[in-house]
Amino acid sequence: MEQITFSQLKKNLKKDTTGFKEIKLAVLGNCATQLLSHALRGYAYELKIALNVFDADYDQLEPQTLDPNSELFTFEPNYILIQLCSEKFQLEFCDLSPEEQESFADRVMARIQEYWRRVEARTKAPILQFDFIEIDDGVFGNFGLKTQKSFLYQIRKLNMLFSEAASKDKQVFPIALNSLSAQVGRDTFFDPQLFYIAKMPIQVDFLPQIAKRVFDTVEALVGHFRKCAVLDLDNTLWGGVVGDDGMEGIRIGELKDGKIYSDLQRYFKALRNRGILLAVCSKNEYDAAIRPFREHPEMVLREDDFVMFVANWEDKASNIRRIRETLNIGMDSIVFIDDNPFERNAVRSQIADLTVPELPPEPEKYLDFLRKSNLFETVSVSGEDAKRTQQYREEAQRTESAATFASYDEYLQSLEMVAEAKPFDSFHFARIAQLTQRSNQFNLRTIRYTESDIKSISEDDHFITLYFTLKDKFGDHGLISVVVLEKRDNGTLFINEFLMSCRVLKRGMEEFIINKIVNTAKENGFTLVEGEYIKTQKNAMVANLYTQHGFTDRGNGIFHADPNTYIFTPNFIQEN
C-alpha cells in the first residue's frame, strides 16, 4: 500500500482499460475539479476500473441539478461526487448581512439538501460528498469559537448539520476531507498560489489520497470491503515476546511503553464492537499465547473478542488460509497486521489478495498509521454488526459438536433449527441492504441495493420481498437471507435477488428458502418461477443451485420451475 503520487496516477490515464469494469462518475463542484477528476481516473485504473468521468464546469451545481435534461442526468452516472470548498463559502459569508451570517450554516445546508432532493428525484446514483474544511478566518480570534457571528463557528456547524442530514439520507455518503486536511495541516494542504491561479483548494500532492477515500466508499458500495483483521501478538498487540519474557514481562498498560499497545488494543476492540472480526495468528505456544488474554489484568482485548485464535509454529500463510476457510470469507476481505517485515513479505508473496499494511518501523506510530489507512470502510451499520463475533464463535462450537454425531442428518436434527420468513420491514432495511452489499458467494445475481432501493422495493407492488432469520440451540444467526421476487406478466414470478449468508450453508436453509419461494408463487397464483444465475468471480458455489433443487435449465443462466408440480425438498427446519 505504498503512497501513489499524482504524476503516477496521471500516467495511468493513457493506459488501456479494455476488460475493466466501467463506472460512470459525475463530478460537480464550486471550484476547479479537473485535476481531482484526473486523480480519480488514475486511481480507478489501479483498481481495474475504467472510470468514465463527466466533469461539470466550475459552479454548475445549480443548473445541472435543476434541468432534468442536463448533461448530468443524460450522462446517467453510477455515482455523483460533490466538492464544495469552504474558501468559496467564506466569500459568500462576507457578503451577507450580520443577521444572515448568523444563520449561514442552516442556509447552506438547506441549499445542499435541495441539490440532494433534485438528484434523488432523477437518479438512484449514490451521492458522494466531501465534508467541509474548517477554515479559521481569524476575524474573531479565539472568540470565534463562541460566537455565531464568526465564519469558523458557522463552518463547524455546517459540518455537523451535514453529518446529521446525511445520517437521514440513505443516498448520501460523505467523504472525510476535513480530517485529511487536519491530519497534514492547512499550511501543506492548501496552497494559496494554486487557489488564486487555478481555483484549486487542495494541493495536488493530496489528490491521490482523496481519490483513495472516494474509492474506499465506492468499493464498499459494490461490496468490496474488509471484514476481518488477523493479528500477530508479540510486539504487535503487546511489547516483548511472551514466550521469552513470560506473561508478567510483556509490555502492556503501565509497564514501560505498554500504553502504545493498550491503545492499539482499544482500536481493535472498537473495530470488533463495530462488527469487524478479529483473529490471532501468532508463532507461539498456544498456552503461553492465550494466557495474557485470560489472566493479564491490563489487557484490553480478551479471549472472546476473537473469532479464531491460532498460535502454533506453522508458517503464517498456511494459518491465514486456515482462518479464511473456517470463517468462509474472501481473502480480499482480510487484513493481516504484523510488526515483522519478514513475516509481512513472506505472507504477501504467498497470498495475493490479502491486505498487508506496511507498518512504520516505530510501534508508537502504528495506531496513527492504521487510523489514516482507512482499512475498514463501510457504507452501513446495523444492530447486528456487534453480534457478529459472537455468531462466528458459536459457529466454531457447532463445528466441534458436529463431529460427535453418527450422521449429518442426525446432527442437523439435534440443532433444533427454527426459521422465520417475513416481508421487508423498516427495522431491517439497513441490514437487508448491507447483506446485498456484502454477500458474494451465495448470491445468485449479485445485485447490490442501497437502503433507499430496499425501501422503494418494499413499497412497490411489483415485488414480493422476503427476509429469513434462523436460530438454533446454540444461538441466533439473525437475518441471514434476502429474497426479492419480481412479478412479471403472464404468470411468471422472477427471482430478482436471492442471497444467503455463508454462515448457514448446508443446514437445509437453502432448501427451506427455495421451498418458500415456490410456495409463495403457488399461493399467489403464478404458473412459473424463473431463477437466474449471473456468474461472478466469487459465486461459483451456487452455479448449480437451481438444478440441484429441481429447476429446469433453460440455458443462458435461466432456470424454471412449475409451482404446481414442484417437489419440495425436505429439511430439518421448523418455520416460526
Residue 191 C-beta: closest distance to other proteins, Å: 8
Taking CB under 8 A as the binding criterion, the range among 32-40, 150-158, 269-277, 311-319 that sits at the site for other proteins is: 32-40
Residue 65 C-beta: closest distance to other proteins, Å: 24
Told to check if 7 binds other proteins by CB under 8 A, we report yes
**For other proteins, how many residues bind (rule: CB under 8 A)?**
13
- Cα separation values, 345 from 87, 232, 310, 342, 366, Å: 44, 14, 20, 5, 18
Report the residue number, 196 or 342, with the smaller CB distance to other proteins.
Answer: 196
Q: How do beta strands 127-130 and 49-55 pair? A: unpaired
Q: Which of 25, 26, 80, 200 binds other proteins (CB under 8 A)?
A: 200
Residue 140 C-beta: closest distance to other proteins, Å: 28
- Cα separation values, 212 from 215, 219, 507, Å: 5, 10, 40
Taking CB under 8 A as the binding criterion, the range among 28-36, 132-140, 141-149, 440-448 that sits at the site for other proteins is: 28-36
- Grid cell digits, residue 85: 470548498
- Grid cell digits, residue 366: 502504528
Residue 36 C-beta: closest distance to other proteins, Å: 11
Taking CB under 8 A as the binding criterion, the range among 29-37, 140-148, 275-283, 366-374 that sits at the site for other proteins is: 29-37
The separation between CA 269 and the C-alpha centre of its own chain, rounded to angstroms, equals 18
Longest alpha-carbon distance in the chain: 82
Q: 179: how many CB neighbours lie within 10 A of its CB?
A: 13
Residue 204 C-beta: closest distance to other proteins, Å: 6
Q: Which of 108, 204, 290, 337 binds other proteins (CB under 8 A)?
A: 204
Report the residue number, 7 or 74, with the smaller CB distance to other proteins.
Answer: 7
Dist CA 333 CA 225 (whole Å): 6
Handedness of CA 459, 461, 462, 463 (dihedral sign): positive
Taking CB under 8 A as the binding criterion, the range among 31-39, 175-183, 324-332, 463-471 that sits at the site for other proteins is: 31-39
Report the residue number, 32 or 281, with the smaller CB distance to other proteins.
Answer: 32
Report the residue number, 140 or 195, with the smaller CB distance to other proteins.
Answer: 195
Per the rule left: phi > 0, alpha: psi between -120 and 50, beta: everything else, 252 is beta
Residue 192 C-beta: closest distance to other proteins, Å: 8
Dist CA 279 CA 230 (whole Å): 5
Told to check if 211 binds other proteins by CB under 8 A, we report no
Residues in 139-198 at the binding interface with other proteins, rule: CB under 8 A: 192-194, 196-198
Q: 464: helix, coil or strand?
A: strand
Residue 354 C-beta: closest distance to other proteins, Å: 34
Report the residue number, 35 or 528, with the smaller CB distance to other proteins.
Answer: 35
Told to check if 14 binds other proteins by CB under 8 A, we report yes
Residue 197 C-beta: closest distance to other proteins, Å: 6
Dist CA 261 CA 253 (whole Å): 7
Q: 412: how many CB neighbours lie within 10 A of its CB?
A: 19
Q: Which among 81, 83, 76 has a CA at the least distance from the CA of 22?
A: 76
Dist CA 87 CA 78 (whole Å): 28
Report the residue number, 98 or 192, with the smaller CB distance to other proteins.
Answer: 192
Residues in 39-68 at the binding interface with other proteins, rule: CB under 8 A: none
What's the 3-state SS for 263-290?
HHHHHHHHHHHHCCEEEEEEECCHHHHH
Residue with cell 463562541: 146
Report the residue number, 14 or 168, with the smaller CB distance to other proteins.
Answer: 14
Q: Which spans of this chain sit near other proteins (rule: CB under 8 A)?
A: 7, 14, 32, 34-35, 192-194, 196-198, 200, 204
